Amino acid sequence: MKTFFVDCPSPVLRIHADLLLALSLLFSEGGEKLPQTLAPLMRSCTAFSDYFKLEKLHLAKETLSNCLKANHDEYLLMAYEYNRLFVGPTTPVAPPYESVYLSPTHLVMGEQTLAVREIYRQENLLTAGQSPEPDDFIATELEFAAYLLSRIMDAQSAKNDIRIQLYKTLYHEFWAKHLSLWLGLFAQRVSQSTNQIVFSALSDVLDTLTTVNTH
């Protein structure tokens, strides 16, 4: 199995960033938009699994492809399950926030929320007050990781070795101190909490990211 390094060439970084962005979109848009967000996720999974030769992800993208053929009533059931897992109105089964998995209280808005907010602030990316979601929302963290990869690609195009190394380091640190610590736990929670194949596939994609990334 190939593993992911941030000193990969830009096309590989783009494959990785596209998957992060597709996952971010799925979580930011919500269950009602699954007919729109599953398609880019399936496409990015295909590219990712083809490059990294991951059988688990190959099966996940086949499942996602089949789910795209769902009818209206089936999509309604997916949306209901999405909300039950991630949103509410009752307490979600698998809350998509870092603090829930890593803070001593297992509640949202823990110290992790403030820590990632400070990292965004250092890149002049402010989310506080601009989104109803806490800063450690999975969609925001995944989008930020993709942003860091895009900055590496920009620096590679400019042949700016200093900025390449800067953003490689930031990516490694952000993944090691945040996403790597809770993404697998979140994926496991999803897997254990649903019988719907689309969310089992989503869990496999998230879990794969934790094994492919290296620190």
Domains in the chain (CATH in brackets) are: 10-212 (1.10.3480.10)
Q: Which is nearest to 75 in space by CA: 46, 35, 44, 38?
A: 35
Strand partners, 184: none
Tell me which H or E stretch contains 153: helix 138-158
- Is the pLDDT at 141 greater than 80? The verdict is yes
Q: Do the Cβ atoms of 31 and 82 come closer than 8 Å?
A: yes
Residue 190 is encoded by which pair of tokens?
Answer: 């999803």
Query: Is the pLDDT at 215 greater than 50, yes or no?
Result: no
More confidently predicted of 73 and 106: 73
How confident is the model over 125-138, as a mean pLDDT?
77
Residue that wins the pLDDT comparison between 181 and 108: 181
Q: Percent of the chain beyond pLDDT 90? A: 77
Residue 184 vs residues 33, 109, 191, 206: alpha-carbon distances, Å: 24, 20, 10, 7
d(CA 56, CA 134): 31
Model confidence at 5, pLDDT cuts 50, 70, 90, reads confident
Contacts of 62 by beta carbon, 8 Å cutoff, 6+ apart: none
Q: Give residue 185's identity as a one-letter amino acid code.
A: L
Q: Quick one: 20 exposed, middle or buried, by C-beta within 10 A (0-12, 13-18, 19+)?
A: buried
Residue 1 has pLDDT above 60, yes or no: no
pLDDT (tens digit per residue) in 35-48: 999 999 999 999 99
pLDDT of residue 144: 96
Higher confidence at residue 6 or residue 21?
21
pTM listed for this prediction: 0.94
Torsion, Cα 93 99 105 108, to 10 degrees, reads: -70
How far apart CA 176 and CA 174 sit, in angstroms, is 6
- What amino acid is encoded at 205 in this protein? V
Q: Using CA atoms in the order 179, 182, 183, 187, what is the torsion angle rounded to 10 degrees?
A: 180
Please write the tens of the pLDDT for every residue from 109-118.
888 999 999 9
Among candidate residues 97, 3, 113, the one with its CA nearest the CA of residue 51 = 3
On the question of pLDDT at 129 being above 70, the answer is: no
pLDDT of residue 184: 96
Confidence of residue 10 (pLDDT cuts 50, 70, 90): very high
Mean pLDDT of 185-206: 97
